[in-house]
Amino acid sequence: MQALMLPITMLTKQFFWFLPGNFSELPTLIFLGWLVYYFGFKKEPLEKIKINNVVLLFLLIANLVQLLTMSYFQTKVARMPMTATASPGVFHAWLNFTAIELGIVLIYYVVFFNIKTDRHINDFFKVVIITLIVYLIVILLPQVVASRFGFIDGWVNLVGRLFEQRWPGRNFYAAGSYVTTLRRVNGLAPEAGYLASQLGIVFIPPLLAALKNRYDYFSSAEHSMRKYRYLLAATLVTLLFAKTSTGIVVIGLTLLLLFITGTSTQKKQYLVGYGLLTIVGALGYLLIPSLRNLLDQYIFQKSGTSNRIGGTLGLLTTFIHYPLTGVGNSFTNYFLLKFVPFNTRYNAEYFAVYSATGYPVLSNAAGWLAQYGLVIVVPVIVYLYHKVRAAFLIRRQIHDLSDAQSCLYKTIIDSFFYSLIMYFVLSVLIFTWSENYYFVMFFFYVVVINRLQKRYL
């Protein structure tokens, strides 16, 4: 299962719409089936499942608070105007929240029972790199070609119909797939920005960590880091063809992390390289109309940001009004229609979509605060603080060690830091934060840090 944990999570298409949350996706059911097999057919003792009482209590309290909060606001909002699309209903919203909690527990134990040794740790990152290579060659490269030329549209549309996650009711896929409709690369995600977040949070951190520590996941011998540089460059170029501001943020953050974590010699090389890229980019902007249009549309003259800005302000205002418990999972629509500044609503997307079907959460971070409140967000932050602190202490303990084992640990910890930086910077924007591949990567880091804590702290 170590070799399959991440690859199967890439299949995010929702085949079972009648099931809540990520249980509508095939990977979650595969994970559930594996755990049943592990404890049923292999006759493993259930005592192996060690449930932390504090974590269990938190999950139960969070679930109860969400249920009571949603029940309260369902009753309150029902007596107010503008309630046609106020909420999905208490039971449906509570079921989706419960599914998120169960999915978190499920994936933690799948990772826990599959990552037991240093070889498992290294092999997991091998699979991450191999998955990225296959993803680039089979999915993303054809999409890059299709974003510019039409001769490969048939293949891209076939992959889209079979595996592309799609938003119901949106016209992003009218020509057969997202790429052939909008000529923007999206991988298997529902939109280009979601692909950018996936690449930035899941795949780029292991590449950055390997380059920083000169650690080759495929060999213990001293090898060139060239293949990781090529993979990183290919990933960043692909993000340009996604034509999304999220992709630009990921590119900028990646280049910044490369510079910050480089040696003094590398920093000089990066400065020269970035300077040359700036010159080439400036010349391209002046001489190549398509590049100029891309940069204008997504950086210099970006339009359509009013909904995102207004939605974020509306979520923060909702949080200020209900800071302790929030308003409940998926219950923000009424409050957004109430609190979003009116001067941000005068655009086609608001009148055509949001005013008719509901105002979505357009900032993960603001959405967490508005929906879940301090009673859930603060314990999660405290938990993350303890994991980050433990990782720092372990990193300090092994800083001067240069054996292969210590180098592996340093690489994993650095990748963890990079992933968290990417996740929280991008959380001001919107992506599906609860996808299985984010949980698999996060709990991989957690499991490794927990094991290293016992050894070094």
Cβ–Cβ < 8 Å for 324, 378: no
Structure tokens at 426: 């991008």
pLDDT at residue 402 in the model: 80
Contacts of 315 (CB under 8 A, 6+ apart): 332, 336, 361, 363, 366, 367, 369, 370
pLDDT at residue 415 in the model: 96
118, 116, 113, 2: which is closest to 48 by C-alpha?
113
- In the predicted structure, residue 30 carries a pLDDT above the cut 80: yes
pLDDT at residue 303 in the model: 57
Give residue 216's Cα distance to chain centre.
25
202, 140, 217, 238: which is closest to 5 by C-alpha?
202
If DSSP codes are grouped into helix, strand and coil, which group holds residue 15?
A: coil
Structure tokens at 413: 């910890």
CA dist 377 and 427 (Å) reads 14
Q: pTM of the full predicted structure?
A: 0.92
What mean pLDDT is predicted for residues 202-227?
86
CA dist 8 and 140 (Å) reads 17
Give residue 195's Cα distance to chain centre.
9
Backbone phi, psi, residue 25, to 5°: -100, 145
CA dist 34 and 36 (Å) reads 5
Q: Could you give the C-alpha distances from 108 to 96, 127, 175, 317, 452, in angstroms and in order? A: 18, 18, 39, 34, 17
- In the predicted structure, residue 84 carries a pLDDT above the cut 70: no
- Where residue 360 falls among pLDDT bands split at 50, 70, 90? confident
CA dist 188 and 191 (Å) reads 8
204, 203, 200, 192: which is closest to 250 by C-alpha?
200
If DSSP codes are grouped into helix, strand and coil, which group holds residue 14?
A: strand
223, 243, 263, 55: which is closest to 144 by C-alpha?
243
Model pLDDT for residues 416-437, shown as the tens digit of each residue: 999 999 999 999 998 999 999 9
CA dist 337 and 390 (Å) reads 42
Contacts of 455 (CB under 8 A, 6+ apart): none
* Residue 103: CA count within 13 A, CB half-sphere: 27
* Residue 433: CA count within 13 A, CB half-sphere: 18
pLDDT at residue 286 in the model: 80
Structure tokens at 29: 């059911």
Model pLDDT for residues 288-346, shown as the tens digit of each residue: 777 777 776 666 656 567 888 889 999 999 999 999 999 999 889 889 888 988 888 88
What mean pLDDT is predicted for residues 440-447?
96
What mean pLDDT is predicted for residues 258-266?
85
